[in-house]
Structure 1
Amino acid sequence: MIQVRGGNKGWNEGHVVVAPDKFKGSLTAPEVAAHLAAGLRQARPDIPVVTVPVADGGDGTVDAMVAAGYAGLQTAVTGPVGNRVVASFAMKGESAVIELAEASGLRRLPDQPTSATALAATSAGTGDLIRTAVLGGARRVVLGLGGSACTDGGAGMLTALGARLLDADGRVLPPGGAALQRLETIDLTGMMRVPVVVASDVDNPLLGARGAAAVYGPQKGAGTAEVAELERGLARFAEVARRELGHDVADRPGAGAAGGVGFAALAFLGANIRPGIEIILEQVDFDATLAGARLVLTGEGSLDEQTLHGKAPIGVARAAAKAEVPVLAVSGRRLIERSELRPYGIADAYALTDIEPDPEVCMSNAGDLLEQLATRIAADHLDRELSR
C-alpha cells in the first residue's frame, strides 16, 4: 500500500478534506461526503475532518453549492416540454449558481424521451432561473451545463430572458430546435443581460459530426430524421445569429454543450466557458480549505476513462497538488488502473467493489459501504501516524 505524504508538510499535521462528487443514481455529493467523514471520524476521532462536496457543473452542482453555504432557493419554471416544474438554484451575495438539468434536464421530462420531445424540447426553464436570480439580486451567474433534454441551441433560454425569435411573417417561433428552421429575425431589444460563466467540460462545436444534434440528439430521443432536422434548425440559428450579431461562435469549443445552450451563452450573453470543477472549487474557496490539510479524499461514482478528461476528482487533485496535499480517490467502481491516476496526482484509489463485489448491493447500500471504506483508508494511511 502506498503511504501518502504531502510535500513539505509533516505527517502529523492538519485535517482531512473530504471533497467528492456524487455517486450518480445512489448518493448526492453531500451524502457521499457525510458517509466518508463518518467513517474517518469513527476510526480516528482525533483528526479533524472537513467536508467540501463538489461537482463539475452537471447534476448535483446546486446541491454541492448549498452544502458549501449558498442559500438554496426554489421557483416554478417551464419544464423541457412546457410542463411546470419546481427547480432549485443557489445564491450567495450577488453570485448565483444555476444548473440547467434542474429546469431543462432529461429527468424533468414527464415520460421517457421520444422523437417528438427531441424536436420540441426547450431550454426556457433555464432562462426562467436566470431571470429569477437576476431579479433577486444576482450580478453574476455560473451556469452549469449537462443532462439537457433540449437541442434548441439555447433559444428557449433567450426567449425567457426577453428575446423574440421570429419567422418571416413576424410570428414568434414555437419552442424547440426543429422550429428554428423557420427563423428569420432575432429581436434582442427586451432581453435581460447578465454576466455568465459557463461551467462545462464539453468541447463540442454547435454543428457537424461532433455537434449538438449528431452527438447528443440520440440520447434525447432523436432518430436519424430528427437529428437531421435539428441540425438544420441549429444551422439556421447560427446563420441568423451571425448576421444579427456580426460574429460567429458556432465552431467555438463548448458551443454544442447542452443541446447548444453553450452557443447561446457564448453568442448572446458574452459568456466564457471553463471547466466546471475549476469554477466550483473557486466558488467554495477550496484553496483556503486546503491550507494546513494532511490529506484529501475525492471521488465519484465511477472512476473510468472519462474521469481522466477533467472530471471532478482530477480537478480536486490538481488543486491539492498546488498546495502539496496528497490525494486519494474513492468510487463505486474503478474501471482504470491505479497507475493511470497517479500522473494526475491521485496516489491511490478505493472502490466499493473492493469490499462488495455485487454492484447492485453497492448501489443500494452505498452509504454503509463508504463508511467501511473510510475506515480502511484510515488504517492504510492515517493509523501509521500512531507508530511514528
Structure 2
Amino acid sequence: MNILVAPDKFRGSLEAVEVCDAVTDGIKKAYPNAKVTAIPLADGGEGTSKILTQQANGSEVTVTVMDPLNRPVKAIYGLSEDHQVAFIEMAAASGLGLLKTEERNPLRTSTFGTGQLIVDALDRGVKKIILGIGGSATTDGGIGMAEALGYAFKDSEGHTLLPNGQSLEKIASIDKHNADPRLALVSVIVACDVTNPLFGKEGAAYVYGPQKGADPDMVVQLDQGLENLTQVATRAFGRDVSQVPGAGAAGGLGAGCMWFLNAVLKDGISIVMEQCNISSLVEKADLVITGEGKVDEQTLAGKVVKGLAGLCKNHHVPLAVVCGTLQITPGQARDAGMTYAVSVLNRPMDLNAAQSEAFRLVSDATFQLMRLFFFNRGVV
C-alpha cells in the first residue's frame, strides 16, 4: 500500500514538515507496513522557498538587506544544489512580519530589500529565479525592487524619487539605462496565489492596503499611484500588464516583476508541485493525504488542497484531507474532488489548546481515517 502524504502547514501550529510527521505517525499506528512518501508543500507564500530548496538538495544563503523601512535585516533564500536556481521569498526582506503593527504604512514601505536578494542571486551566477511574493508589507508596484536592480524613477522635473508607495503618483519617467544587464540572462518565475489586478476596486491598494496599515485616504492615494505607474511603465516597456491576473499581488509587485524582470506569473501551488514532481507520485499512490490549517472557500480557489484534488481526480486516486477547521459543505468537498475531509478537533477547545496539541490531533485523526480506509478495502 503506497500512501503519499503532501500537506501544507497548519499556520500557527505546525510547519508542513511537522504535519508530514504527524500524519505519518497516524498511518503507521493504523497500518505499520504501509509505504509512506512524505512531501511538504506550500502555495507560494511563507515556507515555499525552504520547501523548494530542500527538494532541490540545495543550501540556504543569508544576506543582509534593507527591510521595508530601509533598516538592515538578515534574510535567507535558497540555492539549488548546482547553484543554477534561486528560491526567494519577498517576505524575507519586505514582509509584513518584519514590522510592528504601529510601523505599518504602505506609503513609506519599499521592496528594495527584495531587489537586493535578487542581486545577490545574480552575483552567484543563477540562471533561474523562483520568487514567492506572499506576505508583503508594501504597496510600491515593485519600484523598490527595481531600484535595487538599477532602475531609476523620476518626477516631471527629472528628480529621482524614493522607491516607495508615496512616490507612485509622482513618477513621470523610468530610467532603464543602468538596469542590471544580467536580468536578460535569467528566467524569473513568480509564485502568486491571488488574481487581483493592479489597480481599481479589486486591486492591490483597495483589497490589501488596509491590512498593511493604509487608512481610506492612503488607499485612494496608492490606487491612483498604481494607475499612474501603469501609464508610465506601459510607455516605457511597451505593454500594459495591469490587468493580468496576479498583477496586484504583493502590493503590485506582480506587475512590477513582469515589467522590470520580464517575469512570468504562475499559480504558486502549481510551481511547487511541478518542482516536487508530485504528479508522478500521485499516479503511483493508492491514497493521498493532504491538509492545511483551515479548509474553506479560499481553499477551493487554488490552495494546496485544491491543486492536489485536481491531480488525484485525473489519476483516480482517493484524496483524504485533514485540517484544523473544516468550513466547506459535503457537496463542496465532493465537487472539489475530496474523497474524505475531517477536522482534527475531537472536542470543544480554544485556539491555544488546539495549537499546543496539534501534532497529536493530526496523528489521531489520521489513524481514524486510515482504519476506515483499510476496513473498506478488507485489510483490517
TM over 0.5: yes
Report the alpha carbon displacement of residue 386 of structure 1 after superposing the two structures with TM. Answer: 5.3
1:257-306 deviation digits (Å, cap 9, x = unpaired): 11000111122222222211111100111123224211111111100111
Report the alpha carbon displacement of residue 384 of structure 1 after superposing the two structures with TM. Answer: 4.7
In the alignment, what sits opposite 1:106? 96
Contact residue 49 and residue 132 of structure 2 kept, 8 A: no
Identity in percent = 38
Alignment of 1:260-275 (within 5 A): 260-275=252-267
In the alignment, what sits opposite 1:305? 297
Q: Does 1:32 align with 2:48?
A: no
Q: Does 1:198 align with 2:190?
A: yes
- The TM-score with structure 2 as length reference comes to 0.93
Letter in 2 for 1:238: T
> Bigger CA drift: 153-162 or 128-137?
128-137
CA gap of 1:44–1:216, structure 2 versus 1, over 3 A, is same
SS in 2 for 1:157: helix
Q: Does 1:49 align with 2:39?
A: no
Q: Distance in 2 between matches of 1:294 and 1:72?
A: 34
Alignment of 1:171-190 (within 5 A): 171-190=159-178
Letter in 2 for 1:379: R
1:332-359 deviation digits (Å, cap 9, x = unpaired): 1111123311112110112122455433
In the alignment, what sits opposite 2:227? 235
Structure 1 unaligned spans of 5+: 1-13
Report the alpha carbon displacement of residue 239 of structure 1 after superposing the two structures with TM. Answer: 1.6
Contact residue 356 and residue 362 of structure 1 kept, 8 A: no
Q: How many residues align?
A: 373
Contact residue 106 and residue 140 of structure 2 kept, 8 A: no
Contact residue 81 and residue 122 of structure 1 kept, 8 A: yes
Question: Cα RMSD over matched residues?
Answer: 1.8
Q: Distance in 2 between matches of 1:189 and 1:369?
A: 57
In the alignment, what sits opposite 1:376? 368
Report the alpha carbon displacement of residue 95 of structure 1 after superposing the two structures with TM. Answer: 2.0
Report the alpha carbon displacement of residue 114 of structure 1 after superposing the two structures with TM. Answer: 4.7
In the alignment, what sits opposite 1:163? 151
Letter in 1 for 2:6: A
Structure 2 unaligned spans of 5+: none
Contact residue 353 and residue 359 of structure 1 kept, 8 A: no
Q: Distance in 2 between matches of 1:88 and 1:323?
A: 37
Q: Distance in 1 between matches of 2:376 and 2:240?
A: 58
Q: Distance in 1 between matches of 2:74 and 2:35?
A: 37
CA gap of 1:286–1:85, structure 2 versus 1, over 3 A, is same
In the alignment, what sits opposite 2:282? 290
Contact residue 68 and residue 110 of structure 2 kept, 8 A: yes
Contact residue 118 and residue 221 of structure 1 kept, 8 A: yes
Q: Distance in 2 between matches of 1:145 and 1:50?
A: 28
1:228-254 deviation digits (Å, cap 9, x = unpaired): 221222222112111212221112221
Letter in 1 for 2:86: A
Q: Distance in 1 between matches of 2:371 and 2:96?
A: 41
Contact residue 130 and residue 191 of structure 2 kept, 8 A: yes
CA gap of 1:67–1:339, structure 2 versus 1, over 3 A, is farther
